Structure formats: structure tokens, C-alpha cells
Amino acid sequence: MSEVLCGNASLDLEQPQVMGVLNVTPDSFSDGGELLDARGQPCRDVILERAAAMARDGAALLDIGGESTRPGARKVSEAEEMDRVLPVVEWLGELDVLISVDTTKPGVMREACASGAHLINDVNACRAAGALKVLKENSAGICLMHMQGEPATMQRRPRYDDVVAEVAGFLAERLSALEEAGISRERCLVDPGIGFGKTLEHNLALLAGLPALTALGVPVMVGVSRKSMIGTLTGKDAKGRVHASIAAALYAVMRGASILRVHDVAETCDALKVWRAIGARDVHA
Ligand code: 7PM
């Protein structure tokens, strides 16, 4: 059976699942700072309401991010990131949904797990010094994402000879590094990192080539929601990218994705319901 171990829980991936994005950064591109007050502190009631709605709409996981990875974004200190993220992890503990924390910092990983986070979503694939040690010392699930370069400069000149082979090779190397550090593969997910040091062509090749990632033997997560590749293909701004994002998400599921990281939970879950109903009748499925 396909599942991923996430601390005291396990996430069943027999059917594709949805992760709702909850950004607690002042500069996130599609929900810019609505969840922070004037002093930059997270607003409990607004966040709980938004999170409860995503859980009700069908999200199995919520991803809390306090460190913007927007191309060119300002770096955030560890203390500032903890102040934003840790209270949110605790507030969401009362909801019936798994909690993911989007961070690259080992200190934030440690405290997030202590506060009850089930999954660490690391766009840097645990390459920070000390990250593997922290993860060895707890039992949270881990999403390893591919990124070429770093957020400030990654979109300047992305370059690959064979993007699918290089991304799959990188993720295979990171899975081995975690295994060598004593971290079970049953805790791991991989993610091609759509838009992270990639041109439109690279993103399209990765979506078409997802089977090379499922071949790594761990579940695959994909985030295309409202991203600039959707804007480039449709000419729409972030809020107008919902439907086209779902087209890309369903394509990713068709190619083997198990978790969709999205802003529009209700819409994506509706699309998946239809997808599953048809698939259940398909003798070739
Ligand atoms: C600006 C640009 C703001 C890009 C936010 C983003 C992913 C992720 C993000 C993903 C995993 C966004 C991204 N994207 N984590 N974090 N996979 N695992 O669109 O694709 O939310 S941040």
C-alpha cells in the first residue's frame, strides 16, 4: 500500500491527496500578507478560519510557510521565521488535517516537529548543515524538492542538458543521503520543484517526464498552482490561474503525482472527485 510516514500519523496515498498552501509571509505572491497583522505577527482567527475551510474542502495536509521562496525574495532570520510559523503549527493542531512546515532551516525544523508538525517541506532538499541530524532525531515526513541555484537568482539563467535526468538524479542522490543518515525512505517524498530554477520548457518537460520521478520508489508531490508557467501559457495574473492550474495538476496525477500542492483546495478536490469516479470505471486503470 502506498503511504508516507509522518510522525505519529501516516498519510494514505492510495488516492491522490491535496496539500493546501497557507503562507504566513508578508510578500507571498498570491495571498500577500493577508494572514499577518501590521507588526508582522500571524493573525490567529483569520488563519484558523482559512485553515479550517481548506480542511473542510478536502485538504489532507496544510503547508505553512514563513520564508518566502519567491524569486528575489529577502532572506528571513531564523527567529523571525519561528515567530511566524510555530504559533500557527500549534493553533492548527486542533484541526483534522496533517501539518506541513515549509522551511530550509534545521532550527525551524526541530521546533516545528516539537510543536506537532507532521511533515517538513524543504525546497532545499535537506542540504543545509545540520538538517539531516534534526530529521534523524524526529519522525516527521520529509518532502525533498529540486531547485537549481537559490531563490534570489535561480530564474536568471536556468540551464540543463537533460532536465528530467538531472532532476531525477539529484533527488536519487538526496534520498541516498537521507538513507545513509538513518532516515527511512518510508518518510520521504520527492518533488520536481516546478519554477525553481526552470524555464517554461524545463517545467513542461518535467511534468511530461514525471514517471522518471515515480521510478525513484517514493511518492511524488507537484506544485504548479498559480505559478508563472501557468501565467505564461494563459496570459492571466495569479488570481486568474485557477482553472489552468487544475489542468496541469490533473495531468501531473495522470503521470503519477500523489500529492498536489495548491492554493485552491475546493476547486482541485472537485476536479479530483470527477477524475477518481471516471478512473474507478476504467477497466484499463
Ligand atoms: C513565489 C514563487 C512565491 C513561488 C511562492 C512560490 C513549492 C513549494 C513553493 C513546490 C514544494 C508557490 C511557490 N512551491 N514546495 N514551495 N513544491 N514542495 O507557488 O512546488 O507557492 S513556493
CATH number of the domain bearing residue 100: 3.20.20.20
The total of other beta-carbon atoms located within 10 Å of residue 120's CB is 29
How many angstroms separate the CA atoms of 48 and 234, rounded? 33
Give the number of the atom of ligand 1 that is nearest the alpha carbon of residue 263. 21
Q: How many CB atoms lie within 10 A of CB 128?
A: 16
**Catalytic hit among 105, 187, 227, 241:** 227
Q: Is 236 designated active site?
A: no
Single-letter residue type at 270:
D
Answer yes or no: are the C-beta atoms of 222 and 194 closer than 8 Å: yes
In a domain, 162, yes or no: yes
Name the closest-CA residue to atom 6, ligand 1: 70
Domain around 244 = 3-280
| Nearest CA among 240, 248, 254 for reference residue 268 | 248
Find the residues whose C-beta lies inside 6 A of ligand 1: 21, 28-29, 68-70, 102, 121, 123, 143, 145, 191, 193-195, 221, 223, 227, 261
* Digitized pLDDT (tens) for each residue of the chain, 285 residues in all: 599 999 999 999 999 999 999 998 887 555 657 888 888 888 899 999 999 999 999 999 999 998 876 666 677 899 999 999 999 999 999 999 999 999 999 999 999 999 999 999 999 999 999 999 999 999 999 999 999 999 888 989 999 999 999 999 999 999 999 999 999 999 999 999 999 999 999 999 999 999 999 999 999 999 999 999 999 999 999 999 999 999 999 999 999 999 999 999 999 999 999 999 998 887 765
Number of compact structural domains in the chain: 1
Let me know if residue 285 belongs to a domain.
Answer: no
For residue 34, tell me if it sits in a domain: yes
pLDDT score, position 137: 97
Read off the pTM. 0.95
